[in-house]
Structure 1
Amino acid sequence: MALSFHVRSNSFPSRQHPQAAHVDEQLNRLRSSETASSSSICQRLSNLQDLHESLDKMLRLSISQQTLSQEQIEMILDGSIKILDLCNISKDGLSQMKESLKEIESILRRKRGDLSAEIKKYLASRKFLNKSFQKVLKNLKSGQNKNKASLAVFGEAQDVTVALFESMFTFMSGPKACGKWSLVSKMMSQNKAACEAEENEFTRVDLELQSEKSMKIEDVQNLDSCIQDLEDGIESLSKSLIKYRVSVLNI
């Protein structure tokens, strides 16, 4: 699909411009990578970082600075601050989850302590993260479609960024049958089988939380490592977004 950046406005750099072509290639790569695994999500976070660095370079082009209207600049700033909100909420939530997992791992290793209390903290941190994420996402999407046409390629970049965060949270929450955010009641056997069919680091630990005796320290460590990778990717993306916002503000 040809990008609106190239066809909706003759004021922006043309398709032949190397920087525009590079952004086009990066957007297409992000759209085509939909596999949900920790490694693929981390790679897409890295690709998003590269995309926003490319957009930053594009904003530095004199032709871009001359043709962006005040309204477009304000919309770009508004969208970027909401995406930064998603990053900050994600980092805070993941940090809380990791802290709880460290305590769970410690209790499992020492074979003493209040494991039930730490499990409750872990589940509470996940529930809080999901609730906060959904609130910001709803606010972001409310103006997304309205602004997309006028924002051209910058709107496309917001789309793929939001899509990645949705993919990440789907990966973390697993299929609806698993009841990921509130493990209060026991799962029916068929639901458990459905969860096991789509296991990842998060769902594997969630399944084990159904019975404290079934918890494996190796799975807790794997999830902790997965969360650390996600944190690092989101932190790098945040830094690129901040630089990107500075360039917009300078215009």
Structure 2
Amino acid sequence: MAVSYHVRSNSFPSRQHPQAAHVDEQLNRLRSSEAASSSSSSSICQRLSSLQDLHDSLDKMLRLPITHTTLSQQQIEKLLDGSIKILDLCNIAKNGLSQMKESLKEIQSIVRRKRGDLSAEVKKYLASRKLLKKSFQIVLKNFKACQNKNNNAESLAVFGEAETVTVALFESLFSFMSGSKACGKWSLVSMMMSQNKVTCEDEANEFTRVDLEFQSEKSLKVEDVQILESCIQDLEDGIESLSKSLIKYRVSILNM
């Protein structure tokens, strides 16, 4: 169903505004990419870029005079509440990625220098990963509970839909960062069996592949750690760009 932005006004015809039509197209593309995209770092980075463009367009919509006359104070407060919660998701993701990146650098430093307690640092990394997975689940559960209480008024439809696809992206991102659930269930004994190990590695993303190597403690590949670091950097850059667009979007709401 197309997302519309209809306004009843004597000075403005009751039809979809051109800027809203553009946003509608962006939302349709994001929904299509969400349904068709694979769980890969490149697809998630592309969706982050598309979300940045979407919020830049929403920012332009908020600057329209007709938007100022359409939204009530209560609706503006709902947009403010939604925007700050999404920024919180950005910060949670950035903090998690930064924490993992620092741990990986320390592990690589120990491997290069051949000095230090590698086993202890790896255990620290895996324990941190476990805590992050739990925090991601709690954050998304709480956010979705709040979302279900939001007003679905027609004038808020396009903004509500944007919030929905944004949260869906973070759900995919947190799931990706948590690693493959199927691989995560392999026992250490199963992972050491060649057939199961190959199957799991084939399904693993960059995070899971390194997790498995750290858990086995016998097959650490420095190149896989470097690939994960590169993946983390790409995700950090995408989230940072989205955060900047969200801040501009939030400022426009505050100016209303």
TM-score by length of 1: 0.89
Q: 1:75–1:147: 8 Å Cα contact kept in structure 2?
A: yes
The alignment partner of 2:215 has SS state of coil
Aligned to 1:93: 96
* Shift in Å, 1:247: 0.5
**How far apart, in 2, do the equivalents of 1:13 and 1:116 lie?**
68
The alignment partner of 1:213 has SS state of coil
Give the unaligned 5+ runs of structure 2: none
Aligned to 2:221: 216
Aligned to 2:245: 240
Sequence identity percentage: 79
Aligned to 1:119: 122
Number of equivalenced pairs:
246
Change in CA separation of 1:106 and 1:13 when aligned onto 2, cut-off 3 Å: farther
Aligned to 1:141: 144
Aligned to 2:190: 188
Name the stretch that deviates more: 155-164 or 69-78. Answer: 69-78
Larger radius of gyration: 2
Do structure 1's residue 48 and structure 2's residue 60 form an aligned pair? no
Question: 2:209 is matched by which residue type in structure 1?
Answer: R
Match for 2:233 among 203, 228, 234? 228
Do structure 1's residue 80 and structure 2's residue 115 form an aligned pair? no
**How far apart, in 1, do the equivalents of 2:180 and 2:210 lie?**
14
Change in CA separation of 1:187 and 1:87 when aligned onto 2, cut-off 3 Å: farther
Question: 1:2 is matched by which residue type in structure 2?
Answer: A
Instruction: Provide the alpha-carbon RMSD of the alignment.
Output: 2.2
* Shift in Å, 1:146: 3.0
**How far apart, in 2, do the equivalents of 1:215 and 1:15 lie?**
60
Question: 2:102 is matched by which residue type in structure 1?
Answer: E
**How far apart, in 2, do the equivalents of 1:10 and 1:207 lie?**
58
Change in CA separation of 1:64 and 1:120 when aligned onto 2, cut-off 3 Å: same
Name the stretch that deviates more: 121-130 or 69-78. Answer: 121-130
Q: 1:172–1:202: 8 Å Cα contact kept in structure 2?
A: yes
TM-score by length of 2: 0.88
**How far apart, in 2, do the equivalents of 1:138 and 1:73 lie?**
24
Do structure 1's residue 178 and structure 2's residue 183 form an aligned pair? yes
Change in CA separation of 1:208 and 1:15 when aligned onto 2, cut-off 3 Å: farther
